[in-house]
């Protein structure tokens, strides 16, 4: 019996090379004669380009070429959309305005590229930027989501006649009827905050054109190597296999690196072919803040209708979603918001409307969470307000309304980001709630500890919220498993790894079928020269989709190995086992053949073969689920607030999470730790701010604050439950976003509970000490 | 950025008005201003070096007086551009007589600031602007006094020499204003409490280590 390595906390294969500094990141790639690119970006948020004067910059010694949109001629074209419009939803209105890689005629956000400098060194290229003169007729800045769609607003895309990018209504039941029958209706305006992906490594691109072989070698920090390769092929008129796109080691993705059809992948390969020189571009931090994508700002007008006993009758949520200057990523984010508002509770009547708005801000595409946290925040804030209004305990109100375990699979009636009805595949929400409640000793805290603390003048509050994480959406991923002549195994896919631990988890899945050591499996991710098919790393889908493909490919290889082994050992398959890197007869372990030898035999070099034979111990498999798999959990925390300085300290944090079968529990914990740090960042530290003229004023880590180690809870207690997904053979679900999406809702609930005397009504997903202080002052003066 | 305020000049309104028409005086009043040329009755063009926190660089600027009503009021249009970004905006200045020997200047301006200046220098802009205004008025006060003294002595105002605020004076002013901003915020207060605390702890630690040694 081959030993299963699933659910084992095995040390990561990739750590030795990462920890000893022996990984190649994009900026480590050097070629003789390499030229360097710097991008001139607009200082203006909105304006008509009158002229771009590059003549002085071109005179600088070492500057090789400068290109503006005009210099690109016919090569300049917008798009295509990276995510298609939501035509599956009846009545959906969507105005496509795909990304313009470099501004032509008009500037739509500060930071939009207007010229590309190619020089002998990065220093020279950056110096030259200062000598490019942009003359612009300034237009009014569009930044307020609600005012942007009022008549008379300046227009980001004049031809549309409005800044409304999309309008999508989805309804289940009849909310208005429910509200009319309700005992209590609560209405709130809730705002979620704009935050950055903030990967430690910025984006980068290297292109090298082999003019003899007619091969374009590219290295990119992309989360989607195949779509990016295909986009480049389409732009340059090359066949896909003329482009080899490789992911070097990547220092974090968090969403924004999924984008293609941007200046880097459109222009740099073109320059490399034109100049026949290797070209490198690496983004600096300010560029990353200004010109890379980000998300999370929405304004919700939300309502909840309940009976006096706390039963939810319905929810209504009409919200404005900022898509920035273009909408290349379709409606992934706001559709996720729509599905996540109601994914924990019995909500018989639900009306939800997205008003997606163009603004003069950077393009909005997913950042770890991608709309999920916004939906969770809205629902949990509504429930907290309802609990106060009804005089009910917030946990009791949730307990009363949670979907019961027998409800699954549960059809929500709402179409999700994958354009099919959002079906919650499996879950046991009450169990997650009770685990967290017990771990935090919620009742004891509320009834015994907190009253004492309050009597002593202390401000400690508790929060408990529920969440789901829609993960593992289609369309598909694939992988190929190949046993080599050394007996070691290659697992190759064209996914992308930014630190998720795939070099280990995919190896565990494969090793569990082939009976080899995890360290004897070489996982290759994101090399289009080795595997040609795939979609990309987003929506916490890697381990489910690629993992299942690896599992299925491994099963095929196992079968192939057993067939061949059976012949060579003259023994029926059923009597054989795969273990310790060889096939042996279970009862006669000394009679065996190594996998390496088997691989040699699987590739005969003389003689004849049977008809239909496929060489090698190799197989590929592809997997696409009918719909996503939904993880879930319950987060609780106790926060101690200094009432004078409004500085909070998370004293305890308990997260119960269920992501189906964990492949490597240690890596799952790592994902949750990192996610929670990001969620804590969103709640009280991180915020992208544009001023009233469309200038981003938080474009450095001096102004864009990350939580430090000292801001994190001393201990993050993570409890697991395992509710396997019925959608795939391993029962896995994604885990990438869970930690990041649940924090703000819980944080605000705990803050309100801590500062109980002030009866706060926090309606923003991100605060800081000053803002919290203002909330308190406002409440005091009310 | 919105700027609003008033300043009391110790001099008659006409003299104040005449002074601000003089590009040499204006140039001396602005820290970092390299030169300012009067290109027409209502237009000035100049070059200045701007330094805001980590951002610095040369700026080409244009100042236009719109609808001047001597010696009562004028609207100023400002347009500056350079490697660190741009400034564009309009301001109103009103000169109000307060008795025969004093003039109140009331001003307000709405400036749009872009580029690195805004994205990286933002946290310093308010205090730098405040310091620039204060330094400018101090210089103008001195200039006005010198001009009035020259006038009283029967000399032409062209003969007066104007002293530009030194870099160190200006830097001091910026530091002071930046600290002023810090104390008004909750985080700032925290810093002000914490720094002396840390000092005390360090002193104690040193003392204790000596005792035990």
B207–chain A nearest CA distance, Å: 27
ipTM rounded to 2 decimals: 0.77
CA distances from A501 to A467, A470, A722 (A): 24, 20, 20
Asked if residues A473 and A416 have their Cβ atoms less than 8 Å apart, the reply is: yes
Quick one: CA torsion of A77, A83, A84, A87, rounded to 10 degrees? -140
pLDDT at B166: 65
Confidence at B164, pLDDT banded by 50, 70, 90 = low
Mean pLDDT of all residues belonging to chain A: 96
pLDDT higher than threshold 50 for residue A495 = yes
Lowest mean per-residue pLDDT among A284-288, A760-764, B164-168: B164-168
Rg of chain A (C-alpha set): 28
pLDDT higher than threshold 60 for residue B213 = no
**A539 vs A476: CA distance, rounded Å:** 12
pLDDT, average across residues A692-709: 92
Contact A43 B190 (CB under 8 A): no
**A699 vs A349: CA distance, rounded Å:** 42
**A369 vs A378: CA distance, rounded Å:** 14
A676 touches chain B (CB under 8 A): no
Closest CA to A545 of A491, A496, A495, A476: A476
Contact A697 B116 (CB under 8 A): no
Asked if residues A637 and A654 have their Cβ atoms less than 8 Å apart, the reply is: yes
Confidence at B167, pLDDT banded by 50, 70, 90 = low
Provide the token pair at A319. 């919200």
Contacts of B4 (CB under 8 A, 6+ apart): B107, B108, B109
Query: Which residue blocks in A221-351 are alpha helix, DSSP H?
Result: 225-236, 263-275, 285-291, 332-341
pLDDT digits (tens, 9 = 90+) for A188-223: 999 999 999 999 999 999 999 999 999 999 999 999
pLDDT higher than threshold 70 for residue B192 = no
Give the orientation angle of helix A263-275 with respect to helix A225-236, to 10 degrees: 50
pLDDT higher than threshold 70 for residue B152 = yes
Distance of CA A677 to the CA centre of its chain: 15
For domain A198-291, give the fold.
Aldehyde Oxidoreductase; domain 4 (3.30.365)
Size of interface A-B (CB pairs under 8 A): 63
Q: B118: which chain A residues are within 8 Å (Cβ-Cβ)?
A: 691, 693, 695-697
Query: Which residue blocks in chain B are alpha helix, DSSP H?
Result: 13-20, 23-29, 116-119, 122-152, 167-183, 186-212
Which three-class secondary structure string do you get for A582-593? EEEECCEEEEEE
**B182 vs A257: CA distance, rounded Å:** 37
pLDDT higher than threshold 50 for residue B183 = no
Q: Give the largest CA-CA distance in chain A.
A: 93
Contact A44 B85 (CB under 8 A): no
Of the CA atoms within 13 Å of residue A670, those in its CB half-sphere come to 14
Provide the token pair at B85. 């970004």
Contact A696 B85 (CB under 8 A): no
CA angle at A503 for the pair A26 and A615, rounded to the nearest 5°: 105
pLDDT higher than threshold 60 for residue A126 = yes
Confidence at B34, pLDDT banded by 50, 70, 90 = confident
Provide the token pair at A381. 């804030």
B120–chain A nearest CA distance, Å: 6
**B124 vs B179: CA distance, rounded Å:** 11
A637–chain B nearest CA distance, Å: 24
Q: Which of A196, A700, A769, A770 to mutate to test the interface with B (most CBs of B within 10 A)?
A: A700
What is the full DSSP assignment across A11-28?
Answer: PPTTHHHHHTT---BGGG
pLDDT at B32: 79
* Closest residue, chain A, to B57 (C-alpha): A130
pLDDT at B120: 79
Burial class of residue B157, CB neighbours in 10 A (0-12, 13-18, 19+): middle
Residues facing residue A646 across a β-bridge: none
Tokens 């696409």 correspond to A624
Lowest mean per-residue pLDDT among A319-328, A732-741, B171-180: B171-180
Residues of B with CB under 8 A from a CB of A: 57, 81, 83, 85-86, 88, 112-116, 118-120, 122-123, 185-187, 189-190
Q: Give the largest CA-CA distance in chain B.
A: 78
Asked if residues B21 and B14 have their Cβ atoms less than 8 Å apart, the reply is: no
CA angle at A672 for the pair A331 and A680, rounded to the nearest 5°: 75
A729 touches chain B (CB under 8 A): no
Q: Which CATH architecture has domain A15-21+475-623?
A: 2-Layer Sandwich (3.30)
E strand segments, A360-448 = 410-415, 421-424
Higher pLDDT, B128 or A395: A395
In this complex, which of B88, B119, B190 lies closest to A290 when CB atoms are compared? B119
Closest CA to A726 of A475, A426, A427, A469: A426
pLDDT higher than threshold 60 for residue A411 = yes
Tell me the domains of chain B and their CATH numbers. Answer: 2-165 (3.30.530.20)
Q: Which of A50, A289, A697 to mutate to test the interface with B (most CBs of B within 10 A)?
A: A697
Q: Is A765 helix (H, G, I), strand (E, B) or coil?
A: coil
Q: Where are the domains of chain A?
A: 15-21+475-623, 198-291, 298-473+626-781
Asked if residues A538 and A366 have their Cβ atoms less than 8 Å apart, the reply is: yes
pLDDT digits (tens, 9 = 90+) for A113-124: 999 999 999 999
User: Tell me: domain A298-473+626-781, CATH 2.130.10.10, correct?
Assistant: no
Contact B119 A138 (CB under 8 A): no
B52–chain A nearest CA distance, Å: 13
Confidence at B48, pLDDT banded by 50, 70, 90 = confident
Closest CA to A356 of A387, A326, A386, A312: A326
pLDDT higher than threshold 90 for residue B72 = yes
Count of other CB atoms within 10 angstroms of residue A381: 27
In this complex, which of B83, B86, B123 lies closest to A702 when CB atoms are compared? B123
Contact A695 B185 (CB under 8 A): no
A290 touches chain B (CB under 8 A): yes
pLDDT higher than threshold 70 for residue B184 = no
- CA torsion sign for A126, A131, A137, A138 is positive
Confidence at B130, pLDDT banded by 50, 70, 90 = confident
Q: B187: which chain A residues are within 8 Å (Cβ-Cβ)?
A: 769-770
pLDDT at B206: 73
Lowest mean per-residue pLDDT among A50-59, A563-572, B192-201: B192-201
pLDDT, average across residues A130-147: 95
pLDDT, average across residues B66-77: 91
Tokens 């073969």 correspond to A609
pLDDT higher than threshold 90 for residue B175 = no
Higher pLDDT, A439 or B118: A439
**B68 vs A52: CA distance, rounded Å:** 34
Pairing of strands A215-220, A204-210: antiparallel
pLDDT digits (tens, 9 = 90+) for A323-376: 999 999 999 999 999 999 999 999 999 999 999 999 999 999 999 999 999 999
* Closest residue, chain B, to A700 (C-alpha): B120
Confidence at A445, pLDDT banded by 50, 70, 90 = very high
């Amino acid at each position: 019996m081959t030993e299963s390595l699933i659910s084992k906390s095995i040390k990561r294969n990739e750590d030795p090379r990462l920890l000893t500094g022996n990984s190649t990141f994009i900026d480590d790639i050097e070629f003789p004669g390499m030229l360097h690119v710097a991008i001139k970006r607009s200082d203006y948020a909105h304006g008509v380009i009158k002229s771009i004067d590059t003549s002085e910059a071109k005179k600088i010694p070492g500057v090789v070429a400068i290109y503006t949109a005009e210099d690109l001629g016919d090569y300049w074209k917008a798009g295509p959309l990276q995510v298609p419009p939501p035509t599956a939803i009846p009545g959906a209105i969507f105005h496509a305005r795909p990304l313009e890689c470099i501004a032509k005629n008009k500037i739509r956000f500060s930071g939009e590229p207007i010229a590309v400098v190619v020089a002998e060194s990065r220093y020279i290229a950056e110096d030259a930027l200062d000598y490019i003169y942009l003359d612009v007729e300034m237009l009014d800045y569009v930044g307020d989501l609600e005012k942007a769609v009022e008549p008379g607003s300046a227009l980001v895309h004049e031809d549309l006649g409005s800044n409304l990018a999309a309008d999508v209504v989805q309804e289940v039941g009849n909310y208005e009827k429910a509200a009319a029958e309700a005992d209590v209706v609560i209405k709130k305006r809730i705002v979620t905050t704009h935050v950055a992906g903030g990967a430690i490594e910025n984006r980068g691109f290297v292109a090298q054109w082999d003019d003899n072989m007619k091969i374009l070698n590219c290295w990119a920090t992309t989360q989607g190597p195949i779509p990016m390769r295909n986009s480049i092929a389409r732009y340059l008129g090359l066949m896909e296999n003329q482009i080899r796109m490789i992911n070097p080691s990547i220092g974090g993705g968090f969403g924004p690196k999924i984008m293609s059809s941007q200046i880097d992948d459109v222009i740099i390969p073109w320059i490399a072919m034109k100049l026949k020189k290797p070209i490198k571009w690496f983004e600096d931090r300010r560029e990353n803040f200004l010109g890379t994508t980000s998300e999370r700002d929405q304004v919700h007008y939300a309502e909840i209708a309940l009976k006096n006993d706390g039963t939810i009758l319905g929810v209504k949520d009409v919200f404005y979603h900022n898509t920035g200057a273009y909408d290349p990523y379709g409606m992934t984010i706001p559709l996720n918001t729509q599905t996540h508002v109601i994914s924990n509770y019995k909500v018989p009547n639900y009306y939800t409307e997205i008003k997606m708005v163009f603004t003069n801000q950077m393009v909005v595409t997913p950042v770890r969470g991608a709309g999920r946290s916004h939906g969770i925040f809205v629902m949990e804030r509504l429930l907290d307000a309802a609990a106060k209004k009804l005089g009910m305990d917030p946990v009791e109100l949730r307990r009363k309304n949670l979907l019961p375990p027998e409800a699954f699979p549960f059809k929500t009636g709402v179409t999700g980001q994958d354009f099919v009805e959002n079906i919650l595949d499996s879950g046991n929400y009450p169990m997650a709630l009770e685990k967290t409640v017990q771990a935090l000793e919620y009742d004891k805290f509320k009834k015994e500890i907190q009253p004492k603390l309050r009597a002593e003048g202390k401000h400690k509050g508790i929060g408990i919220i529920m969440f789901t994480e829609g993960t593992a959406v289609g369309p598909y991923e694939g992988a190929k498993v190949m046993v080599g002549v050394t007996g070691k195994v290659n697992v190759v896919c064209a996914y992308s790894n930014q630190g998720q631990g795939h070099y280990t988890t995919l190896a565990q899945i494969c090793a569990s079928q082939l009976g080899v050591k995890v360290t004897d499996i070489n996982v290759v991710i994101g090399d289009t020269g080795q595997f040609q098919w795939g979609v990309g790393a987003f929506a916490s889908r890697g381990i489910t989709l690629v993992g299942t493909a690896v599992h299925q490919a491994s099963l095929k290889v196992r079968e192939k190995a057993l067939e061949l082994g059976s012949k060579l050992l003259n023994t029926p398959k059923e009597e054989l086992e795969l273990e310790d890197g060889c096939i042996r007869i279970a009862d006669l372990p000394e009679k065996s053949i190594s996998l390496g030898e088997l691989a040699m035999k699987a590739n005969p070099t003389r003689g004849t073969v049977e008809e239909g034979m496929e060489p090698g111990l190799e197989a590929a498999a592809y997997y696409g689920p009918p719909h996503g798999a939904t993880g879930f959990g319950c987060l609780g925390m106790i926060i101690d607030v200094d009432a004078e300085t409004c500085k909070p300290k998370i004293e305890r944090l308990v997260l119960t999470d269920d992501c189906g079968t964990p492949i490597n529990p240690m890596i799952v914990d790592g994902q949750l730790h990192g996610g929670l740090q990001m969620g804590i960042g969103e709640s009280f530290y991180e915020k992208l701010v544009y001023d009233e003229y469309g200038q981003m004023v938080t474009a450095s880590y001096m102004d864009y604050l990350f939580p430090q180690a000292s801001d994190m809870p001393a201990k993050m207690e993570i409890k697991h439950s395992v509710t396997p997904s019925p959608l795939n053979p391993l029962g896995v679900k994604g885990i990438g976003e869970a930690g990041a999406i649940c924090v703000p809702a819980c944080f605000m609930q705990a803050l309100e509970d801590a500062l109980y005397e002030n009866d706060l009504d926090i309606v923003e997903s991100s605060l800081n000490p000053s803002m919290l202080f203002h909330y308190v002052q406002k409440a005091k003066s009310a | 950025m919105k700027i609003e305020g008033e300043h009391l000049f110790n001099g008659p309104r006409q003299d104040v008005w005449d002074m601000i028409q003089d590009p040499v005086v204006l140039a001396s009043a602005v820290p970092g201003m390299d030169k300012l040329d009067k290109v027409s009755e209502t237009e000035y063009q100049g070059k200045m070096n701007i330094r805001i926190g980590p951002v610095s660089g040369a700026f080409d600027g244009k100042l236009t007086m719109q609808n001047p009503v001597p010696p009562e009021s004028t609207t100023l249009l400002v347009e500056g551009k350079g490697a660190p970004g741009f400034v564009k905006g309009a301001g109103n200045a009103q000169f109000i007589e307060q008795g025969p020997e004093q003039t109140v200047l009331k001003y307000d301006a709405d400036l749009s600031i872009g580029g690195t200046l805004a994205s990286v220098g933002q946290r310093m802009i308010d205090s730098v602007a405040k310091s620039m205004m204060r330094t400018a008025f101090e210089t103008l006060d001195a200039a006005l006094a010198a001009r009035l003294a020259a006038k009283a002595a029967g000399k032409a105002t062209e003969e007066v020499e104007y002293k530009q605020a030194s870099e160190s004076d200006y830097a001091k002013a910026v530091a002071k204003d930046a600290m002023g901003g810090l104390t008004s915020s909750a985080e700032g207060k925290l810093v002000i409490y914490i720094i002396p605390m840390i000092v005390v702890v360090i002193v104690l630690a040193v003392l204790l280590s000596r005792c035990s040694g």
